[in-house]
Structure 1
Amino acid sequence: MCGIAGFFGQPPNGAAAVLADMIGAVRHRGPDASGIHIKETAGLAHARLSIIDIASGQQPMRTADDELSITFNGEIFNYVELKTELERHGHIFRTASDTEVILHAYRQWDVDCVSRFNGDFAFALHDARQRRLFASRDRMGVRPFFFTRQGRCIYFASEIKALLTVPGITAEIDPIALDQIFTFWCPLAPRTGFKGIEELEPGHRLIAESDRLVCEPYWRLTYPRSGEEEEDRRSEPEIREELRALLLDATELRLRSDVPVGAYLSGGLDSSIITAAVKHIRSDRLRTFSVTFDNAEFDETAFQNEMVAALGTAHSAVATTPADIGALFPQVIKAAERPILRTAPAPLHRLSALVRDEHFKVVLTGEGADELFAGYDIFKEAKIRRFIAAQPQSSRRPLLLRKLYPYLPRLAGQSQTYLESFFGARPGDETDPLFSHLPRFRNTASAKMFFSGALKAELGGYDALADLRDRLPADFPRWHPLSQAQYLEAGLLLPGYILSSQGDRAAMANAVEGRFPFLDHRVVEFAARIPPRFKMRALREKHILRDAFQDLLPKTIANRIKQPYRAPDAPSFSGPDAPAWVSDTLATDRVRDAGLFEPRAVEKLMTKCNSGRPLGFKDNAALVGIVSTQLWHDMFTKQAAQPPARKIA
């Protein structure tokens, strides 16, 4: 895992200095070593986090004939098998690194090499003979890759802050991206928060030559047409057995490392399965790490301790209070490089700092299971809402709404009338392809009432929901309703927020690499073919996954109802323990100068927060969104980026 940066095209004046500044901005991703390489019209830079082939895996790496060079972030987990195959084709290797495998795979299979990689990766490869830059990103979007064009030159990097060190490249807020964030929690790729700066989409590759730039998919997340042959027709026990074998293999592949590998342990089903899988594969004592809270609404300590006792792991935890979140939040936004509507990345930022301080660089986590196996309450919610809509006159069906979100006390305490109004379908919703997510999108978007008149005018009636509908795959209407809902989670929120602001950025801020066995593309493709009835049995989420691994888990964990990872929102920025920067950031003149929100409305919201009354979803999302947007504006657009001190090892 590392930081990458570079350019392709007509080289700028002082190219070496430009590369040094770019890679210096992301040295936190790779503090172990750094380097640059310039050849003809390409410049590559690298900040290394040494995990595989520590002795000889330095980058940028070149082939012996100096025709190919690469800067690579991430891991190719099947590099051992690929290396053996390439050696049979006559390739000779000088290192034991997965980086060199990419170079030889490209030479053997050209740009189609990425289809053979099982990994989490973002890389840029310069082919001097063909005068081509070839870049690619992993299928699920675990590792980031951003790029922008200036004149006849393309600049790219792991993080946007590296691009902003290039003379002439500035951060200008994209109002449409901001509207998308305040609807979906993230921009719709390739859009980022800044005009003119793009994100290479998950499962895509970029090919740049002197006269063209192409971004194209090499893989797409897809599901079978409902009831058709692509769906797995085997018995549930047969599917369950293969799922178990596949996930164990994916976990074993992600244990390949020349440094120790630990695991995050939340106390939920997903991280518990991964941790138990590691113990099943390896007998040595595993190091586990977790977050705890002083508020029972968020804390999962009891379940964490139960798994630690069951598996005998060596465990460390970091306690997190609202004050801790408030103090750390500016660093979280600096790492995320975009506004966020939840504080959840902050405790994970603290957790990765604990992992770093314990001298670990790699952790396995359970991300992806909820998206692939229908674990979130939003899937149950959509099923119940469809059930109610089928018989709108029924008085009994709406009572099922009380089974939703038991971990949200304010919602659970609402009247039946309120719940039916909150979750109820509007005319035409049943035929809307976004049916499963409409309540979430609409409730999140209500925070846009705080947008300033100038921002609303600039948006000019832009409709984020219509934009998303236009981007859906052609086969989307033919998928099962559960598959449609899963696609919106796995194809949008997962790469756009969970693997980004809450994943890569939170971990790599402290030079920690997260690995995700559930996101092995073989597991993803296999899970997509599993019949929906095996994923959700009645309202039992992740049915087949639970049964596949129940023998490795305590019964209380195997049967535990999903409690999503959450963190305190409004209390982190209000009350007597609120950090001083909050009042400065939300001062009326600061809000007015930024021009993104109505100052008077923000004042009223803060008064409500400071009253001590608990806030609902809408106000919490609005507060965190406003706070993070103001911080983001101040960090990236208000102040000129200061180039970091140059240090090339």
Structure 2
Amino acid sequence: MCGIAGIVVAPGHAPPSAELGRRMTAVIRHRGPDDDGHHVDERAVLGMRRLSIIDIAGGHQPAYAAEQQVCLVFNGEIYNFRELRRELERDGHDFRTQSEAEVILQAYLRHGTDAIARLDGMFAIAIWDRRSNELLLARDRFGEKPLYYTRNRHRILFGSELKSLLQSSDCPRDVAPDALRAYLSYGYVPSPSSIFAGVSKLPPGHWLRYRDGQVELQRYWRPSLATKTRMSEAEAGEELAELLDRAVASRLTSDVPFGAFLSGGLDSSTVVALMARHLDAPVKTFTIGFKEAAYSELDDARLVARHLGTEHHELVVEPDAAALLQQLVWHFDEPFADASAIPTFLVSQLARQHVKMVLTGDGGDELFGGYDRYLRLLALDRLGPLTRPAAAVLRVAGALLPDPIGDRLDRIGERLQLPGEERYLSSVALQRAGTARALHADAGGSRHYHLPVLDEAGADLGAGRSPLDRAVAIDLQSYLPDDILVKLDRMAMANSLEGRSPFLHPELASFALSLPESFRIRAGTGKVLLRQVAERWLPPRAVAKPKQGFGIPLGEWLRGPLREVARDTFASRAFRERGLCDPAVANALLDEHASGRVDRRQVLWQVICLELWAQRFLDSAVVED
């Protein structure tokens, strides 16, 4: 686990700055406090920060091959590197270390860019091939590890975090209007955009080749939603049990102490149960809770921990949300308003006191139909021809009834008026189009802000897909890599902790996506087959537990300790002059929330996060911790 960064210049231009390369890696030291390394030549600077997990003694980067002509830095873990190494050894390749980096290099020498699709892991890879003067950047299938890049006519910059690129004075710093619109809708910036025009995220499942100032972008993997298994439910359950066990076992390779996040929900509990089957010592598990009972899953986690005999660690927290938010803004680089980042940061902080790596349950909801919004989507889809009349009735009722009931009915009516995929994306969005438009006049109409995400999902939304598969395709393109996995990566790495997600094992994920809808959702319940399989290992209460999410008492905080933070933020001269949000609208939303008439916690949190991000990344010419 590392952070990487680098510069490659086009022919005929001045050599890249070694000092800039060192600043680019120094600013992400939290990603790898154990070691650093740099490659410098007349065309390229490649750097890394290392968090040592595998081959602690021999895994130093950059790694080299082909008589020092091919150089690699990479961030992540390759879970099948031993199998790949054996194949390469049979083909005559020699190895000097036990590291994954050397396996990636030798696979590249053997297979070229086809080597990327052979990797089972989470990774962001940079390979500088001096033989052909090519830079290859690659990102894992689901986007577990981040990779930003920007280029102009004379160079390309890349890095695990945007703050690395911002060490360069010529990195673009103009806010992208489309990215701002998306953020005010979803609370995150969807790939491949970043908040800055001219800076991109390498999309999941893609590689990029840079040569002589030109870029080639290629997709090497996409999730398959078209082909469905013909197994019976019982046969599928046996196959799923085996794949789950194999996926967890493959993620246990480590030369350092490790554990697991345990919420007491189905996904994390299943991961911990399978870990326990493969370990001789009790699994170290970590949970946090809040004093507000409605937001605490401590009892559920304790039940599972006792059942599985884990070494359980828990903490009830009363965080200083205002102070913590400043840390979160720094680590996310872009505006990010998923408030569950707070408990994710705190549980990562707790875990890092005991271990260096954790397994998580991320990905289970997307693959097995776990989100409540999937259930709502299918319910709305069943209205069929009644959709338009129902939408009109709900909107009229919403206008006549008092808030919050009226607001809720109007929002459902608005959603029903949208076409299928946009209707689903409106349920992912934190804000209605009207609210986003009121905050920022250029926020677009009710449809505009959904279209970039649908364009990227493209081929995955093919004709004949079920409504559930179409929604999952959208989430795999956007919500999973740009919200869920960003949150895990940044909050774990902020604490120099590695997080691994067994549900994203390629074979397991492909099988889950091949399950027919009835194996995932049935009779108003999600994760049907996963629950059936998990009954083998977990107590009934854990299997039946409904989706809760990693929530925090944000609404209460915004009527309490965060209210004045919001008020001061909205009253500042910088906020008024910046023009990202309308101060009068922001203050009106705060008053509505404080009165209890309407719950405005999501939009208020979005605006606060946006302004604090702007203070940190727009107002300062120097980006440093």
Q: Is the 8 A contact 1:124 1:135 kept in 2?
A: yes
CA distance 1:223–1:642, change in 2 (3 Å): closer
Alignment-derived partner of residue 194 in structure 1: 196
1:328 corresponds to which of 324, 331, 338:
324
Amino acid of the residue matched to residue 209 of structure 2? I
Alignment-derived partner of residue 593 in structure 1: 577
CA distance 1:53–1:194, change in 2 (3 Å): same
CA distance 1:255–1:86, change in 2 (3 Å): same
2:463 corresponds to which of 457, 468, 477:
477
Alignment-derived partner of residue 477 in structure 2: 491
Unpaired stretches in structure 2, ≥5 consecutive residues: 394-402
1:545 corresponds to which of 530, 546, 551:
530
Q: What does the per-residue CA deviation read over 1:122-168, in whole Å, with 9 as the maximum and x for residues that have no partner?
A: 01001111111111000000000001114411010000101111132
**Distance (Å, rounded) in 2 between the aligned partners of 1:333 and 1:499:** 16
1:559 aligns with 2:544: yes
Alignment-derived partner of residue 262 in structure 1: 259
1:90 corresponds to which of 89, 92, 95:
92
Q: What does the per-residue CA deviation read over 1:263-290, in whole Å, with 9 as the maximum and x for residues that have no partner?
A: 0001110000000010122231110111
CA distance 1:425–1:533, change in 2 (3 Å): farther
Amino acid of the residue matched to residue 603 of structure 2? A
The structural deviation recorded for 1:357 is 2.2
TM-score (norm 2): 0.93
**Distance (Å, rounded) in 1 between the aligned partners of 2:454 and 2:16:** 45
1:77-476 equivalences in 2 (<5 Å): 77-224=79-226, 230-321=227-318, 323-358=319-354, 360-389=355-384, 421-424=410-413, 429=418, 431-441=419-429, 443-453=431-441, 455=442, 463-474=448-459, 475-476=461-462
CA distance 1:419–1:632, change in 2 (3 Å): closer
TM-score (norm 1): 0.89
Structure number with greater CO (CA < 8 Å, separation at least 6) is: 1
**Distance (Å, rounded) in 2 between the aligned partners of 1:157 and 1:383:** 40
Amino acid of the residue matched to residue 448 of structure 1? A
**Distance (Å, rounded) in 1 between the aligned partners of 2:458 and 2:300:** 39
The structural deviation recorded for 1:560 is 1.4
1:25-40 equivalences in 2 (<5 Å): 25-40=27-42
Q: Secondary structure at the match of 1:172?
A: coil
Alignment-derived partner of residue 63 in structure 2: 61
1:623 corresponds to which of 604, 612, 618:
604
Q: Is the 8 A contact 1:588 1:599 kept in 2?
A: no
**Distance (Å, rounded) in 2 between the aligned partners of 1:520 and 1:505:** 20
The structural deviation recorded for 1:421 is 4.6
Amino acid of the residue matched to residue 228 of structure 2? E
Q: Is the 8 A contact 2:558 2:601 kept in 1?
A: no
1:9 aligns with 2:9: yes
Q: Is the 8 A contact 2:367 2:509 kept in 1?
A: yes
Q: Secondary structure at the match of 1:122?
A: strand
Q: Is the 8 A contact 1:318 1:350 kept in 2?
A: no
The structural deviation recorded for 1:391 is 5.5
Amino acid of the residue matched to residue 484 of structure 1? R
CA distance 1:151–1:392, change in 2 (3 Å): closer
Amino acid of the residue matched to residue 628 of structure 1? C
**Distance (Å, rounded) in 2 between the aligned partners of 1:569 and 1:335:** 20
279-288 vs 190-199, which deviates more?
A: 279-288
**Distance (Å, rounded) in 2 between the aligned partners of 1:451 and 1:159:** 28
Q: What does the per-residue CA deviation read over 1:169-214, in whole Å, with 9 as the maximum and x for residues that have no partner?
A: 2422112101012223322311101111110000000111115211
Q: Secondary structure at the match of 1:285?
A: coil
Q: Is the 8 A contact 2:141 2:206 kept in 1?
A: yes
Q: Is the 8 A contact 2:360 2:502 kept in 1?
A: yes
**Distance (Å, rounded) in 2 between the aligned partners of 1:477 and 1:425:** 25
Percent identity over paired residues: 33
**Distance (Å, rounded) in 2 between the aligned partners of 1:280 and 1:262:** 14
**Distance (Å, rounded) in 2 between the aligned partners of 1:424 and 1:170:** 40
Q: Is the 8 A contact 2:46 2:62 kept in 1?
A: yes
Q: Is the 8 A contact 1:156 1:163 kept in 2?
A: yes
Q: Is the 8 A contact 2:2 2:32 kept in 1?
A: yes
163-172 vs 106-115, which deviates more?
A: 163-172
Amino acid of the residue matched to residue 373 of structure 1? F
Amino acid of the residue matched to residue 239 of structure 1? A
Alignment-derived partner of residue 405 in structure 1: none
Alignment-derived partner of residue 397 in structure 2: none
**Distance (Å, rounded) in 2 between the aligned partners of 1:421 and 1:460:** 17
The structural deviation recorded for 1:436 is 3.0
The structural deviation recorded for 1:242 is 0.8
CA distance 1:23–1:640, change in 2 (3 Å): same
Alignment-derived partner of residue 602 in structure 1: 586
Aligned length: 612
CA distance 1:334–1:95, change in 2 (3 Å): same
**Distance (Å, rounded) in 1 between the aligned partners of 2:585 and 2:300:** 41
Q: Is the 8 A contact 1:243 1:523 kept in 2?
A: yes
**Distance (Å, rounded) in 1 between the aligned partners of 2:567 and 2:424:** 38
Q: Is the 8 A contact 2:16 2:45 kept in 1?
A: no
Q: Is the 8 A contact 2:322 2:565 kept in 1?
A: no
Q: Is the 8 A contact 1:207 1:213 kept in 2?
A: yes
The structural deviation recorded for 1:605 is 2.6
CA distance 1:14–1:435, change in 2 (3 Å): closer
Q: Is the 8 A contact 2:15 2:42 kept in 1?
A: no
**Distance (Å, rounded) in 1 between the aligned partners of 2:27 and 2:14:** 18
**Distance (Å, rounded) in 1 between the aligned partners of 2:113 and 2:79:** 19
Amino acid of the residue matched to residue 4 of structure 2? I
597-606 vs 262-271, which deviates more?
A: 597-606
CA distance 1:64–1:557, change in 2 (3 Å): same
CA distance 1:66–1:426, change in 2 (3 Å): closer
Q: Is the 8 A contact 1:261 1:361 kept in 2?
A: yes
The structural deviation recorded for 1:563 is 1.4
The structural deviation recorded for 1:583 is 4.5
CA distance 1:462–1:270, change in 2 (3 Å): closer
**Distance (Å, rounded) in 1 between the aligned partners of 2:363 and 2:416:** 33
RMSD of the TM alignment (CA)?
Answer: 2.5
The structural deviation recorded for 1:35 is 1.2
**Distance (Å, rounded) in 1 between the aligned partners of 2:134 and 2:472:** 37
Q: Is the 8 A contact 1:204 1:215 kept in 2?
A: yes
**Distance (Å, rounded) in 2 between the aligned partners of 1:584 and 1:54:** 48
Q: Is the 8 A contact 2:16 2:44 kept in 1?
A: no
**Distance (Å, rounded) in 2 between the aligned partners of 1:33 and 1:143:** 19
**Distance (Å, rounded) in 1 between the aligned partners of 2:222 and 2:83:** 24
**Distance (Å, rounded) in 1 between the aligned partners of 2:310 and 2:219:** 41
**Distance (Å, rounded) in 2 between the aligned partners of 1:76 and 1:190:** 24
The structural deviation recorded for 1:22 is 0.5
**Distance (Å, rounded) in 1 between the aligned partners of 2:67 and 2:98:** 18
Q: Secondary structure at the match of 1:367?
A: coil
The structural deviation recorded for 1:425 is 6.8
CA distance 1:452–1:527, change in 2 (3 Å): closer
Alignment-derived partner of residue 617 in structure 2: 636
